[in-house]
Structure 1
Amino acid sequence: MRIDAAFIFTAFLEIIKALPLTLAISTVPLAFGFAIGLAIALIRIYKVRGLHRVAGAYVSVVRGTPLLLHIMIIYFGLPMLFDSLSAQYGWGLKSSSIPLVTFVLIAFSINSGAYMSEAIRSGILAVGAGQTEAAYSIGMTGPQAMRRIVLPQALMAGLPNLLHKFIGLLHGSSLAFTISLQELNGKAHIVATTNLKFLEAFIAAAFIYWGLTLLAEWGTALLEKRLHTYNKGGVA
């Protein structure tokens, strides 16, 4: 058996066409997950009455179950809920009109929100209380101190975890193939099956994933360098 090196390049060109969908599955949930994670982290830190226990349960359940399970629950459960509500309120819409990628984006956002909440919470708690008190002493309000002093340093402290989560979403995007989405992994399966050259197709996909991971690490290094100014006393 010989590896067809030329076909690796051919497969690369075919598989790379699925890059936009993979990036969407990786970046959109990262943004929504950050918003969810920030809200959950603040709720748990300030122990908001009636919500902090729910927030804690959400983090525990999501982190205690696999991502593939989240995709399947959303994929099978959300259409049932949507169709039931549509029939009850006369929306005149069916779940079949919802794009498949929507289910993946929701599942990934819910998953990343739980993990990112822990990264953000640990980053906020790592900032000394004295810095917040100093912010109050110069006339800042609580939200201003959080936005200008605490959060930049918390983001700096939690940056490695945030990078890890992005890479996890990038690699986890391959699970979207389970509901027939043609992201990088799904496209590699199609190219491999069509040409009966599985090893070459998956080697090409591996190079793409590796390249995206290197780009993410490079971008994070640049962001870390910028945020490092806050450790020297700067404010935004």
Structure 2
Amino acid sequence: MFNVSFLFRTFFLLWKAVPVTLLITVISLVSGVVLGFLIALSRVHKVKVLSQFSAVFVSFIRGTPIVLQIMVVYSIVPSFLNGIFIAAGSKVNVFELNPIYYAFIVFGLNNAAILSEVFRSALLTVSKGQLEAGYTAGLTYWQTYRMIIIPQALTVAIPNLCNATVSLIKNTSLAFMMTVKDVTAVAKIEASYGYNYIESYLDIFVIYIIICSAVQVLFRKWEKKQADYKKVSRA
């Protein structure tokens, strides 16, 4: 029978786990932005070896389910490393590592692959003449990118960056597979006591709707601000 009191009690309880979900999102997003941008640069400028390796990495991440990536990082890799440490006579126990670090790795790498394509497509919209113009003005490679190319590419990338961030937030619901006590994990634990899974899933649904909607509002404001800046710079 549907338990309304459980629904409301669990809803407010789950908000205590929201910081864990947001922490995974922020760390994964930041690491994904940095790594994704570097991958995009290597592919845009066709850096030897690195561009080929980046292409393989992106294809692997985008071509495999994130559940499989979680299984590899959380189960196979620690067991492999533990075997190496034991063989080396080390007392390091990789299984004592906080599982949230595995979540950072999985979602960070997954997000990096997705964002690399976002940044690559955005950078390709900026003409090569912009880089040459920066050199003519006496700017270095990085100064040209920071002051000329990135601001233009960012305007194009914001909508896709928003989509990637929202997808990342939703994907973090799989962190419970790594025993991370995020929103989904807490909801499943609470539901298990009285088999109130319908109520718990409704709570999860509403919480993620609220978080994702808030993120989309922030990105829309950022996009509008960036568009206004672009108009002013053109004027």
TM-score by length of 2: 0.92
Task: Give the letter aligned to residue 24 of structure 2.
Answer: I
- 1:81 and 1:224 map into 2 onto residues whose CA distance is 44
Contact 2:36 2:112 in 1 (8 A): yes
Task: Encode CA deviations 1:106-137: one digit per residue, 9 max, x unaligned.
Answer: 01111111110000000100112233333233
The offset of 1:230, in angstroms, is 4.6
Greater Cα offset, 41-50 or 123-132: 123-132
- 1:10 and 1:156 map into 2 onto residues whose CA distance is 42
The offset of 1:141, in angstroms, is 1.9
Which residue of structure 2 lines up, in the alignment, with residue 110 of structure 1? 109
Task: Encode CA deviations 1:129-172: one digit per residue, 9 max, x unaligned.
Answer: 23333323322222111111111221221111111111111111
Task: Give the letter aligned to residue 199 of structure 1.
Answer: I
Contact 2:99 2:178 in 1 (8 A): yes
The offset of 1:183, in angstroms, is 1.0
Q: Within 5 Å, which residues of 2 pair with 1:133-152?
A: 133-152=132-151
Which residue of structure 1 lines up, in the alignment, with residue 222 of structure 2? 223
Task: Give the letter aligned to residue 100 of structure 2.
Answer: V
The offset of 1:199, in angstroms, is 1.8
Greater Cα offset, 137-146 or 31-40: 137-146
The offset of 1:88, in angstroms, is 5.3
- 1:140 and 1:227 map into 2 onto residues whose CA distance is 23
1:129 aligns with 2:128: yes
TM-score by length of 1: 0.91
Task: Give the letter aligned to residue 150 of structure 1.
Answer: I
The offset of 1:86, in angstroms, is 2.8
Which residue of structure 1 lines up, in the alignment, with residue 162 of structure 2? 163
- 1:149 and 1:232 map into 2 onto residues whose CA distance is 15
When the two structures are aligned, how many residues end up with a matched partner?
234
Q: Structure 1 residues 229 and 130 mapped into 2: Cα distance closer, same or farther (>3 Å)? A: farther
The offset of 1:15, in angstroms, is 1.3
Which residue of structure 1 lines up, in the alignment, with residue 179 of structure 2? 180
- 2:41 and 2:200 map into 1 onto residues whose CA distance is 45
Which residue of structure 2 lines up, in the alignment, with residue 48 of structure 1? 47
- 2:190 and 2:119 map into 1 onto residues whose CA distance is 40
The offset of 1:55, in angstroms, is 0.7
- 2:108 and 2:67 map into 1 onto residues whose CA distance is 13
Greater Cα offset, 134-143 or 169-178: 134-143
Which residue of structure 2 lines up, in the alignment, with residue 101 of structure 1? 100
Which residue of structure 1 lines up, in the alignment, with residue 190 of structure 2? 191
Using the aligned pairs only, state the percent identity: 32
The offset of 1:216, in angstroms, is 0.3
Contact 1:27 1:166 in 2 (8 A): no
1:57 aligns with 2:34: no
- 2:178 and 2:232 map into 1 onto residues whose CA distance is 49
- 2:162 and 2:90 map into 1 onto residues whose CA distance is 41
Structure 1 residues without counterparts, runs of 5 or longer: none
Structure 2 residues without counterparts, runs of 5 or longer: none
1:212 aligns with 2:192: no
Task: Encode CA deviations 1:28-50: one digit per residue, 9 max, x unaligned.
Answer: 11110111101100111111112
- 1:157 and 1:187 map into 2 onto residues whose CA distance is 38
Contact 2:102 2:178 in 1 (8 A): no
Q: Within 5 Å, which residues of 2 pair with 1:71-86?
A: 71-86=70-85
Contact 1:152 1:230 in 2 (8 A): no
